[in-house]
Amino acid sequence: MGVSQLLALMGINLLGMMTPGPDIFLVTRLATRSRRHALAAVFGIATGLFVWVSLTVMGAAALLTAYPALLGAIQVAGGGWIFYMGVRMLQAARAQWGQPVAGADAVDVLGTPATCYRHGLATNLSNPKVVIYLSAIIAPMLPASPSVLTGVEVVAAMVASNIFGFGLLSLSISTERLRSRFLAMSQWIDLAAGVFFLVAGTLLVLSGVREFV
């Protein structure tokens, strides 16, 4: 695959990342508290994307299309996880309400960086339909019989652009000037993120259930 095609693929992926979704809400919430925790989640998300892109290159979209029950089962499980994350965020918002936030320990609120890595990984892996989306943008750029090297190039380009995009978001939000502003609204950010995750999780579960009907 040529350099221009890889750059185009990375550009499309960066544009897609701007669409509001669980990944971007998770990173934004964490970055308002701790750069280290946010970057840990970014690498968790990138690990999840590595799995999805690898499966896409190997033709997993055709498998999910052929077996909708498999797609549905993964969506129900993933939606349940997203819903659970939403509940935890609302609990965090409730615990902080009316309390001073400036001196709060990030580990007390967010957990360890390792926990945030796992949350990023699980959040990204929660929606198997990303394989179908990735197939739509990757397949037109692949030759009829892509080599192993081409597959590696595609995976590397997608993961690198993902780390760049979410990493830049994390670094921007977690600067001292912006973080102090966001920190003053941390309860509201947790509340908004929690509600979003509850709605997204519910919709994902319902979408998965429909695959069984």
pLDDT tens-digit series, residues 16-27: 888 878 899 999
- Rounded distance, CA 102 to CA 52, Å? 38
Q: Domain containing 124: what range?
A: 3-210
For the chain, the domain total comes to 1
Looking at residue 98, what is its pLDDT? 63
- Rounded distance, CA 39 to CA 5, Å? 28
Looking at residue 57, what is its pLDDT? 85
> What is this structure's pTM?
0.83
Residues 6+ apart with CB under 8 A from 13: 137, 157, 158, 161, 162, 165
The structure tokens listed for 49 are 């994307």
Residues 6+ apart with CB under 8 A from 102: 183
Per residue in 117-168, pLDDT (tens digit) is 999 999 999 888 788 788 888 877 776 677 888 889 999 999 999 999 999 9
Per residue in 32-78, pLDDT (tens digit) is 888 999 999 999 999 999 999 998 888 877 777 788 888 888 889 88
The structure tokens listed for 128 are 């198997």
Single-letter amino acid, residue 182: F
